[in-house]
Amino acid sequence: MDNRPIGFFDSGIGGLTAIPYLAKSLPEERIVYFGDTARTPYGSKAVNTIRIFAMQIAEFLKSQDVKMIVTACNTVTATCLPLLREKYPDIPIIGVIKPAAEKAAMICSRENHIGIIGTKATISNGAYEREIGNFKSGLDIHSMACPIFVPLIEEGIITDDIMTLSVRHYLDDFIGSNHIDTLVLGCTHYPLIRKQIETLYPSLKIIDPSQEVIGRIRAVLTERDMLAENSSFLNTFYASDLSDNFINMINIIFKDEDFKVAFKSFDIK
Ligand code: DGL
């Protein structure tokens, strides 16, 4: 048993999409979340910059005495996971890509056409193709960076026509010409536009890493006898810019529960 909180982080509000799944599946667990809302988006930045940011945040979460760190960001997972694990060997660090890749490999055969959408950094890294290939070879995989989605979502532009147009701009041709039948939402912000994607392309099977990572969290905590029981820790959400959108999202997720919201910034390097 370990009642310390789990540390989650993302470039902004994206990682929050994993929290309802955690609350449902592991209701005893408590969290410290950090959203780097002042420096979002990460996905269009240089890998070295993303690494500096990720290291700063991991160090901060460690200082909050978390028992595990979840990189609730595909971009950080793709570009920084080995580095983070090397720097912090004493703490389990869980990424979102492997669990989603495993799911894609499990439900797909060579007849399927898998689409991966994500940030520029995630897509150019090729992490999904590699991870899916480790589980099953020979699958048909296509990938596509959709860099406009995250800035729009961070602005709260989610249900407007602008978002529908942006989704169609990237996905109409990608899905049509590659005959995509299974789509991996390879950015933790994208579950927030899942409804729009499903409405436009109703026959797609969708894989959501924010959901898939929960099984991995459970497995690692169980393996290490680190599940929480009756923790009195108050869920705490830090952001480098306490934007209205960040606070609104938390209010939606934890409408009937107490939580703490706080500001935390880092030196810009
Ligand atoms: N939500 C993140 C991801 O999963 C980061 C997106 C960004 O900041 O560009 O990739």
Q: Which residue type is seen at 172? A: D
170 CA distance to ligand 1 centroid (A)? Answer: 17
73 CA distance to ligand 1 centroid (A)? Answer: 5
| Ligand 1 atom at shortest distance from the alpha carbon of 147 | 9
Of 67, 5, 21, 81, residue with least CA distance to 215: 21
Pocket test for ligand 1, best of 36, 39, 74 (most atoms within 8 A of CB): 74
Q: Which domain holds residue 57?
A: 6-95+211-263
1 assigned to some structural domain: no
For residue 142, give the 3-state DSSP assignment: strand
239 assigned to some structural domain: yes
- Specify the residue with its C-alpha closest to ligand 1, atom 9: 43
Element spanning 238, H or E: strand 236-239
Would you say the C-alpha torsion 218, 223, 224, 226 has a positive or negative sign? positive
What CATH number does the domain containing 35 carry?
3.40.50.1860
146 in active site: no
Distance between CA 39 and CA 29 in Å, rounded? 28
| Ligand 1 atom at shortest distance from the alpha carbon of 75 | 10
Does residue 189 have its Cβ closer than 6 Å to ligand 1? Answer: yes
188 and 236 together in one domain = no
173 and 108 together in one domain = yes
pLDDT tens, residue order, the chain (269 aa): 999 999 999 999 999 999 999 999 999 999 999 999 999 999 999 999 999 999 999 999 999 999 999 999 999 999 999 999 999 999 999 999 999 999 999 999 999 999 999 999 999 999 999 999 999 999 999 999 999 999 999 999 998 899 999 999 999 999 999 999 999 999 999 999 999 999 999 999 999 999 999 999 999 999 999 999 999 999 999 999 999 999 998 998 888 889 999 999 997 65
268 assigned to some structural domain: no
91 assigned to some structural domain: yes
Domain count, the chain: 2
52 and 102 together in one domain = no
